[in-house]
Amino acid sequence: MGSPDLAECDDLALLARARTDDRPAFGELVRRHQHSALRVAAVISGSTEEAKDIVQDAFVNIHRKLDSYRGTGSVRSWMLRVVANHAKNHVRSRIRRLRREDQHAGLFLREEDDTETTTVQRMENVTVAKALGRLPLHDREVLGCRYVAELSEAETAEVLAVAIGTVKSRTSRALAKLQTEFERAESKEPK
């Protein structure tokens, strides 16, 4: 976990220490926000495995550019915005690569949770992941931030670099599209 004095520091204090090459302070920032970063990257990229690489690359980039944080918004939002941008760039790169290879670019989350979950929960997770995978990237981004990473509307606005009103309207439209995907999947189920 981190030393007790680091655990008591807020994110701004940790960032200030990390800027002085205090590696344990940066490690504490990573520890605090890694779970949310993985969730954001997984939803945007469509892959929990790729999300791990995306987050690692993003955190390396964040460490190199600690001085680029300007104090607008929370440190968490800034870090997650970097992760989201890395994930979007990764998706764009993958799509370009797949197009060059003349393959279909399917973006579905894979269920790779090793914890003991019930079969019903796994099926629900797969259903949600497939429905999310059929949504456009901007819909996956907003739903991923709001409901998967559990960010507030303000944090989501910071991560996606849009206004709060845009987050509200995108969330509403994306939820409606997701509901349509669920209904479509339900209608295809054998009775």
112-140 per-position pLDDT tens digit: 444 444 545 555 566 777 777 788 888 98
DSSP 2: -
Contact 97/155 with Cβ under 8 angstroms? no
Which CA distances in Å does 120 have to 41, 124, 125, 185?
Answer: 25, 6, 9, 16
Look at residue 32 in the predicted model and tell me its pLDDT: 95
- What does the pLDDT read at residue 117? 47
Q: Percentage of residues in the chain with pLDDT exceeding 70?
A: 80
* CATH 1.10.3210.10 at 4-188, yes or no: no
Q: DSSP secondary-structure letter at 168?
A: H
Q: Give pLDDT, residue 93.
A: 82
pLDDT value of position 52? 95
| 3-class DSSP assignment, residue 182 | helix
CB atoms within 10 A of CB 50: 18
pLDDT at 179 (0 to 100): 85
Asked whether the predicted pLDDT for residue 109 surpasses 60, the reply is no
Please, which pLDDT band fits residue 187 given cuts at 50, 70 and 90?
Answer: confident
CB 62 within 8 A of CB 79: yes
Count of CB atoms within 10 A of residue 16's CB? Answer: 14
- Of 31, 28, 32, 38, the residue nearest 58 (C-alpha): 38
Retrieve residue 187's tokens.
């209608």
Q: Which residues contact 44 (CB under 8 A, 6 or more apart)?
A: 84, 87, 88, 91, 137, 140, 141, 144
Q: Is the pLDDT of residue 62 over 70?
A: yes
Average pLDDT of 62-68?
93
Residue with tokens 């996956």: 140
Q: Which residues contact 139 (CB under 8 A, 6 or more apart)?
A: 170, 173, 174, 177, 178
Global pTM exceeds 0.75: no
